[in-house]
């Protein structure tokens, strides 16, 4: 019988470890500070909604918290990659957990804590992983116009406002674009939102996410810090 699991994570990052991110439109508070507060406020309700959905479709649910496994992972990554933010490490951790769960489960569904199921349909029945990873493409939200990004960056600076978020779909696109260009590939790319990911063992093995992991991080860092970058400042700032 196919073994399936739904999992989420809740790591309450200490305030002093939160990197600053541009506020939501019309607000002044860092996006990270607001997210931390809202998660703490609504944690139990969000968890209950996910647990209820898992029970409804008769699939095991797991939630990973600030336990010894996380602490060991966090400490290891901080020591090996001191340039990573706590947010970065949390996101690598959720992918690491996919591989850990694949040791015991055939199909895995990851959901961010703020994903609220609004359907009674069984995700695993609706999406056939034999056709690939179930993940949302965010291409429609990507701004690939260099001139448009330049105008937005300059207007924010003139208004003494925050710069572009390094986590936006556009930032992800340009960061991937630069890495593909660096490696000699066609640089145009798709942008994915990893808030919901459905995957199986076979796809995880094919993805082999952590292969050449350190090499990739080093390349990203070099592109971000390149004093003689081929990319305009307002693009390089998004890396």
The C-alpha atoms of residue 146 and residue 6 are separated, in whole angstroms, by 39
Q: What is the pTM of this model?
A: 0.89
For 160, list phi and psi in degrees, rounded to 5. 55, 40
The separation between the first and the last C-alpha atoms of the chain, rounded to the nearest angstrom, is 44
Q: Is the dihedral of CA 189, 190, 196, 202 positive or negative?
A: negative
Kindly state the average pLDDT of the residues 75-90.
93
The C-alpha atoms of residue 59 and residue 124 are separated, in whole angstroms, by 9
pLDDT, residue 158, reads 40
Tokens found for residue 107 = 């199909």
Is the per-residue pLDDT at 85 higher than 70?
yes
pLDDT, residue 191, reads 93
Write the pLDDT tens digit of every residue in 148-172: 665 665 545 544 444 566 778 888 9
């Amino acid at each position: 019988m196919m073994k399936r699991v739904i999992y989420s994570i809740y790591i309450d990052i200490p305030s002093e470890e939160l990197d600053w991110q541009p506020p939501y439109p019309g607000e002044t508070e860092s996006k990270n500070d607001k997210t931390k507060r809202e998660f703490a406020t609504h944690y139990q309700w969000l968890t209950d909604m996910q647990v209820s959905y898992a029970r409804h479709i008769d699939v095991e649910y797991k939630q990973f918290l600030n336990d010894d496994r996380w602490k060991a992972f966090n400490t290891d990554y901080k020591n090996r990659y001191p340039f990573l933010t706590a947010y970065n490490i949390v996101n690598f951790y959720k992918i690491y957990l996919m591989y850990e769960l694949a040791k015991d489960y055939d199909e895995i569904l990851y959901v961010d804590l703020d994903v609220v199921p609004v359907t009674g349909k069984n995700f695993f029945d609706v999406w056939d992983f034999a056709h690939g990873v179930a993940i949302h493409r965010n291409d429609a939200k990507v701004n690939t116009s260099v001139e448009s990004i330049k105008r937005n960056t300059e207007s924010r600076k003139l208004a003494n406002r925050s710069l572009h978020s390094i986590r936006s779909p556009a930032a992800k696109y340009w960061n991937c674009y630069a890495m593909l260009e660096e490696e000699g590939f066609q640089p145009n790319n798709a942008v994915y939102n990893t808030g919901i990911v459905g995957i199986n063992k076979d796809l995880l093995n094919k993805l082999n996410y952590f292969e050449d992991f350190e090499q990739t991080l080093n390349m990203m860092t070099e592109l971000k810090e390149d004093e003689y970058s081929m990319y305009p400042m307002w693009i390089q700032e998004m890396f």
